[in-house]
Amino acid sequence: MDQTEYKIYIDNVIRRVETARLKVDDHHIVKIVAVSKYSTSDEIEKLYEIGQRAFGENKVQDLKVKTTELEELPLEWHFIGNLQKNKINNLIDLAPSLFQGLDSLELAIELNKKLAAKETTMDCLLQINSAKEDSKHGVMPEDALAIYKQIETECPNIHLKGVMSIGAHTNDKAVIKKSFETTHEIFKQIPDAKICSMGMSGDFELAIECGSNMVRLGSVMFNK
Ligand SMILES: *Cc1c(COP(=O)(O)O)cnc(C)c1O
């Protein structure tokens, strides 16, 4: 695809997001984070030229490489992966605009300690394992509210902005929908939560219809 064809292709993805969000409400605004983990810096730059500004990576090392290669561009970087304890300082130094995968109280306490030592803060989302899958990270839905409050009171260097979840891993649309509804239900119960991040290339329309206001789109944004 040349750049003109790519632009038409992306317009169509944006139209799909628009159609889904308008089913919720005229004022329901959805932000697209382009997940660039399968893509090169050249490909990111092509998408930037079409107008995309927010990008997400799921490995600290890849985030470092891409932020360095693309440092001239005014991009907004999200870290969407699982954070190992030995990578915390590296992530802090990269200063992502949002860390979407805060998945336990234990990690929050470690991260807070290291943020405090560096006299800085980080905006984060609490990851919820809504479908209770062994293969996924995140807090159990029944524990999410209490953990969210505990992080807010005990971790002053972490600024929680809302919740993140990955849809259930199944072809059963009803089960996927249920997992999104579970996350959105928790989101609604947190008065100051702003972001409900859910929906990927295969399920973003359903996620938006269930109340998502941030979708993380990888393959569909890079046409892979
Ligand atoms: C890879 C990834 C995505 C994007 O996946 P696609 O199916 O390519 O859209 C979204 N969220 C997380 C947490 C990911 O790891």
Q: Report the CATH number of the 3-222 domain.
A: 3.20.20.10
User: What pLDDT shows up at residue 120?
Assistant: 98
Mean pLDDT in residue range 178-199:
98
| Eight-state DSSP code of residue 73 | S
The alpha-helical segments, DSSP class H, found in 99-156 are 105-117, 141-154
User: Could you report the per-residue pLDDT of 45-92, keeping only the tens digit for each?
Assistant: 999 999 999 999 999 999 999 999 999 999 999 999 999 999 999 999
The contacts of residue 99 (CB under 8 Å, 6+ apart) are 78, 79, 83, 91, 122, 123, 124, 125
| pLDDT value, residue 19 | 98
- Segment 196-206 shows an average pLDDT of 98
* pTM of the full structure: 0.97
Ligand 1 site residues (CB inside 6 A) read: 35, 37, 58, 80, 166, 200-202, 216-220
Q: How far is the CA of 136 from the centre of ligand 1 (A)?
A: 13
Atom of ligand 1 nearest to the CA of 216: 10
- Nearest-CA residue for atom 11 of ligand 1: 216
- Rounded to the nearest integer, the mean pLDDT of the chain is 97
State the distance from the centre of ligand 1 to the C-alpha of 62, rounded, in angstroms. 15
At 184 the pLDDT is: 98
Per-residue tokens: 110: 């470690």
Measure the CA–CA gap between 14 and 30, rounded to whole angstroms. 10
**Whose CA is closest to atom 8 on ligand 1?**
218
> pLDDT digits over 21-41, tens only?
999 999 999 999 999 999 999
The whole-number pLDDT of residue 38 equals: 96
What's residue 86's pLDDT? Answer: 97
Q: Find the helix or strand (DSSP H, E) in which 206 lies.
A: helix 204-209
Alpha carbon nearest to ligand 1 atom 6, residue: 218
Percent of the chain whose predicted confidence (pLDDT) is above 70? 100
Percent share of the chain, pLDDT over 90: 99
Q: How far is the CA of 116 from the centre of ligand 1 (A)?
A: 30
The rounded distance, in Å, linking the Cα atoms of 183 and 140 is 10
pLDDT given for residue 91 in this prediction: 98
C-alpha 217 – ligand 1 centre gap (Å): 6
Q: Where are the domains of the chain?
A: 3-222
